[in-house]
Amino acid sequence: MDYTTQRLDRYLRKKYGIIPQSVIEKAIRNKDILVNDKKVRSSERISDNDKVYVHPNIERLFNNLSLSVNKNKNISVNQKHLDLFKKIIIYEDDDLLIVNKPGGMAVQLGSKINIALDVIAKAYNSELRLVHRIDKETSGITIFAKNLESARYMLEQFKSKQVNKTYVALLSRKVLFKNKTIRVKLLKEKDKVIIDNIRGKPAVTEFTFVANVSGKSLIIAKPLTGRTHQIRVHLASINAPILGDRKYGSTANKHLYLHAYEIVFKQYRTGNGLHIKAPLPEYFKKPKNILE
């Protein structure tokens, strides 16, 4: 099988079956998985010439987990899933397919996830490759490439920061700022992200106030870097967590009020600018035309 351009974690799933991402990440951290005798990230691109080492104990674990997941979860995509996928498509051309993902739907499979967007996407079109993802609880724009060339192109666009992303968030309280830029370093620790200006990686987000809604502030967030949970942690750092973000200080709510609203980048074939907006979920209850 040709694994050229495949991420390491996807290579492992192709070889061993459905493995939770958390298990893969732990094995990588413990150096039980190496590429060319070096520790790399799960997102590392694998070519045919690379040597991937997996410790025998981890191989056995992967094989057992794959059998267990397939047996116990009975993962399958039915017509209901496919109908939902068709409904959330907001843009499609020869190279890309963009969906408006519902909040609460996982993008990729994990240890406690029975179905995921990328699995449904593959059932819809086996050529689809995920090139941009958002958190499970976040709603909005998620991008799939329809061929290898556009996948490579989009991944490079994201890597070189040529993609402009805009999120909308409803905060758990009112804020006083009109415009605000937060620059702090973030460090991922287990399932959370913390501010750590010594060990962390640079993270920058620009925030703009939009309106007050029922005692809460609606804002626009533009992440200039792409760290895990970046917007959520930055807002929590100023004591204004996103409504429903229990992980970072908000009270419990049925939804996380964070939405990947808009994305702008140059198209692969033409170089023309592509500007996509994903309508806000109904539960945001936005004032009429506030973001139009």
Q: What distances in angstroms separate CA 236 from CA 193, 241, 285, one per listed residue? A: 11, 4, 23
* 45 Cβ neighbours under 8 A, 6+ residues apart: 5, 6, 7, 8
* 280 Cβ neighbours under 8 A, 6+ residues apart: 168, 259, 261, 286, 291
Give me the sign of the Cα torsion angle 194, 197, 199, 204: positive
32, 135, 191, 196: the active-site residue? 135
- The Cβ-side half-sphere exposure at 124, using a 13 Å CA radius, reads 23
**Which residues are paired to 145 by β-bridges?**
96, 129
123 touches 77 (CB < 8 A): yes
Q: 């917007």: which residue's tokens?
A: 231
Report the amino acid identity of residue 16: Y
Read off the DSSP letter of residue 59.
Answer: H
Which helix or strand (DSSP H or E) is residue 88 part of? helix 79-88
Told to judge if 135 belongs to the known catalytic residues of this protein, a careful annotator would answer yes
18 touches 69 (CB < 8 A): yes
The residues carrying an active-site annotation are 135
